[in-house]
Structure 1
C-alpha cells in the first residue's frame, strides 16, 4: 500500500478515534478471553497496536520495530503470568478485525470520502501487521525480555503472588522461598509503579518482580539498608512509583495495599510527586487516612469544626489556619507566629478566640487529633481546588 492523499486524510481523521476504538476492543477481548481479565498491560498494548494500524494509513512505510518490541514485551508479561502462549495472539487477531471494522465506520460517520479500494488496501496492510504483532507476542512469550523464562523464574513469580495474596503462613513462605531459591528477608517493601513503557525498572537482583500484575510491582528485601534507598530511587526516577511501608515478609500484602492506595492518590494529583522521585507511602499518612473515608471526613468536620461557623468568614479563615499551626507547633505562640509571619500577640489573641469557641475540646488530646486530621484534610482539598 503506497502513500496516497486519501490515506493521509484517513489517518488524520481517525487518529482521534483510536482511544475509543481501543476501549471497545479491550472490553471485547476481556469478554472473549477471560484469562486476560487481569492482564494489566492489555489496555495500553491494544491502543498501541491500533495506533500502529492508523499510522500505516498516513505512512505505509512506518517501521514495525517499536510495535514489535511492545508485542514481545506483552508476550513476556503473559509468560510471567503463566498464561498459555496462544491466548494473547488470538486476542490480537480478534481485536484487529474489530478495530478495522470500527475505524471504517468512524471514517464514514465523520464524512471522510474514502474509496473502497483505499479501505481494502488498509485492511490488507493492517492484517499483515497483525501477523507480525502476533508472531512477536509468541516470541516474547518464549523468550521473555530476551532470556529464557526458566522454571526458577516461574517459581519466583509464584512466591511473589503467595506473599501478596491472602495472609500466608510462615511455613508456606519458607517452602515457596526454598523452591524459588530466595532467602526470606527480615524486612521488605512492595513497590508499585505505572508501566509507562515496556522497559521495567532495574531492581536489585534479590527483588521479586511482579510485572504480570496490575499495577506492576516488585517485592524488595531490606529497602532501607545501606545504599539500597539511593539505588531504588535511581531505578524508579522519572516514573510514577510508590514504595510501600517496610514490613515483615508475612505482611507483604499490607505494604502492597498502602502502596496501591498511595498510587491511586498520586494519579489523582492528591499527593505530590516531586522531581520524578518515587513516593514513599509512609510520608503521606494523613492523606491516606483522610482519603480512606472522605465522606466521613466531611460529616465529622461539619460537627467538630462547627464553632468556626459562628464568626465572620475572614476571621474564620485566620482562626482555621492558626488552629492548624497551633496543633503542629504544640501551642508555642512564638513558633506559630514565625510560621504564619504574624506577631506573637496576634497568635495569642486568636488562641483566646479559639478557646472561647471550642472550650475544653481545644485541649482534649482526642479532640485535638480529630481536629488536626480534619484541618489537614480541609487544607489539602483547598490546595487541590486551587491547583488541580
Structure 2
C-alpha cells in the first residue's frame, strides 16, 4: 500500500523545521479530542458508540495517524518512500475490516474521515500560520494533509471490502455445507449446528426444486433470500452440470401455487414440501420423477410430483413392474400382438371405469357392442380372475400406465 503513497513521494518538497513540527506535535492530543467530539456530534452511527475506552482508543488512533504524517514531513529528506506510512495504512486497513465485522457500512467511516480532515486542518493551519510559514507553504501542507487522509480512507475501504468478501466466501461455504448435509439426510443435531454456522434461520418446511441450470437466475430473484442452492456434486447422484437444485423455504399449503407460478416455463420439477430437516425426501422424489421421464405439463407449468404419486410408486421397481405386467397379461400372450393390445386397452378402461360399458366405449371411441364382445373374450381368457380382488389389483397396477418402450 505504501509504495503508491502520494504523501510519501511528495513529502520531500515540504520538510518542516523542528520548531514547527514540535508545535504541531504538542497540539495533537487537543486535535484528536476535538476530532472525536466532532465525529460523535455529526455522524449518527457513532453518536452512542464513541464513549469510554472506545473514545480513548479512537482518540489515540487519530493522534498516531496525524503524528505519523508529521514525522513523515519532519524527516522527509532521505526517507525510504516504501516504508514511512506502512503502519498507519495497515491500521486504517484494520479499521475498515473492523467496521465490516461490526456490521457498519463504509459511509459512516468515510464521513468520519472527512470530518477528521476538516478539524485537523483547522487546528493545524492555525499553528502553521502562527509559525510564520508562507501562504504557498501552508497551501502545500494542506494539500499533503488531505492526500494523506485520502490514502488512509482508501486503505480502510480496501479493508472493509476484503472483510466483506472474506465473510461472504465463508458464509457461502457454510451454506453449501448445510445444503449438502440436508440432501444427505444428516441427523437433526448435525443440521441444527450446520444451520447455526451458516447464520441460516431454519424455516418450517423446505421444498426441493430441480430445473435446468440455464433457467436458474430468474427464479432466484423472486424466491426467498433464504433459498439454498446445491452445488453440482449432489449426494448419491452423478455430477450433473445441467441440473440445478433449489431448497425453497415455506412453500407448503396454498403457497405451493405461488411457487409453481414463479417456476412456470422453467422446466422445473417440484418435490413435496417436507419439514426442513427431512428435505432429502423431497429431493429424492423430485430426482426420481426426473429419472423416470414423467411427462411435463404441456402448458409450461412445473412437473409437480404431488400429482404423479401413482407413477412414482410404480416406478420405484421397474423390473418388478415388468414382471407384474407379464404375469397379469399372460392370458393374452398367445394372441397376435394387435389383438392382445386391443384387449389390454379394453381391460384397462373397463377396470378404470368400474365396468360401465358406455363409459368404456366413449373412452375407446368404439361401439358399446364392441366393448361387450371384447369383454366376453377377456372373460373366456381370464375366467374367475376378473372377479378375484387380488387379481383385479394386479391387473389394475399392470395396466395403470402404458408399458415402457422397448
What TM-score does the superposition give when structure 2 sets the normalisation length?
0.50
Larger radius of gyration: 2
Q: Which digits, 9 at most, give the CA deviation of each residue in 1:355-386, with x for residues without a partner?
A: 32223332333333332232244x2535xx8x
* SS of equivalent to 2:379: helix
* SS of equivalent to 1:272: coil
Mapped contact 1:193–1:263 kept (Cα < 8 A): no
Mapped contact 1:196–1:239 kept (Cα < 8 A): no
How far is the alpha carbon of 1:351 from its aligned partner? 2.6
Aligned pairs, number: 234
Measured at CA, do residues 237 and 147 of structure 1 come closer, stay the same or move farther in structure 2, by a change above 3 Å?
Answer: farther
Q: Which residue of 1 aligns with 2:249?
A: 221
* SS of equivalent to 1:196: helix
Q: Which digits, 9 at most, give the CA deviation of each residue in 1:144-201, with x for residues without a partner?
A: xx99835444333222211111x33233333333343444344332111221367363
Q: Which residue of 2 aligns with 1:321?
A: 345
Task: Say whether residues 1:175 and 2:198 are aligned partners.
Answer: no
Mapped contact 1:243–1:279 kept (Cα < 8 A): yes
Mapped contact 2:176–2:231 kept (Cα < 8 A): no
For 2:346 and 2:177, the matched residues in 1 are separated by: 52
Q: Which residue of 1 aligns with 2:370?
A: 346
Partner of residue 206 from structure 2, selected from 181, 188, 193: 188
Q: Which digits, 9 at most, give the CA deviation of each residue in 1:265-288, with x for residues without a partner?
A: 34xxx5234233211123333443
Mapped contact 1:162–1:168 kept (Cα < 8 A): yes
For 2:226 and 2:314, the matched residues in 1 are separated by: 35
Mapped contact 1:241–1:263 kept (Cα < 8 A): no
For 1:252 and 1:185, the matched residues in 2 are separated by: 11
Mapped contact 2:296–2:302 kept (Cα < 8 A): no
How far is the alpha carbon of 1:242 from its aligned partner? 0.8
Task: Say whether residues 1:301 and 2:319 are aligned partners.
Answer: no
For 1:374 and 1:147, the matched residues in 2 are separated by: 57
Q: Which residue of 2 aligns with 1:210?
A: 230
Q: Which digits, 9 at most, give the CA deviation of each residue in 1:213-232, with x for residues without a partner?
A: 44321112232333x33432
Q: Which residue of 1 aligns with 2:176?
A: 157
* SS of equivalent to 1:246: strand
Mapped contact 1:239–1:278 kept (Cα < 8 A): yes
Q: Which residue of 1 aligns with 2:404?
A: 381
Mapped contact 2:207–2:270 kept (Cα < 8 A): yes
For 1:230 and 1:350, the matched residues in 2 are separated by: 43
Task: Say whether residues 1:362 and 2:400 are aligned partners.
Answer: no
Mapped contact 2:215–2:266 kept (Cα < 8 A): no
Partner of residue 245 from structure 1, selected from 256, 272, 290: 272
Measured at CA, do residues 367 and 149 of structure 1 come closer, stay the same or move farther in structure 2, by a change above 3 Å?
Answer: farther
Mapped contact 2:205–2:252 kept (Cα < 8 A): no
How far is the alpha carbon of 1:324 from its aligned partner? 0.9
Task: Say whether residues 1:279 and 2:303 are aligned partners.
Answer: yes
For 1:356 and 1:190, the matched residues in 2 are separated by: 49
For 2:305 and 2:216, the matched residues in 1 are separated by: 25
For 1:256 and 1:346, the matched residues in 2 are separated by: 46
* SS of equivalent to 1:188: strand
Q: Which digits, 9 at most, give the CA deviation of each residue in 1:80-100, with x for residues without a partner?
A: xxxxxxxxxxxxxxxxxxxxx
Mapped contact 1:273–1:279 kept (Cα < 8 A): yes
Q: Which residue of 2 aligns with 1:235?
A: 262
Q: Which residue of 2 aligns with 1:20?
A: none
Q: CA RMSD in A?
A: 3.2
What TM-score does the superposition give when structure 1 sets the normalisation length?
0.52
Mapped contact 2:271–2:305 kept (Cα < 8 A): yes
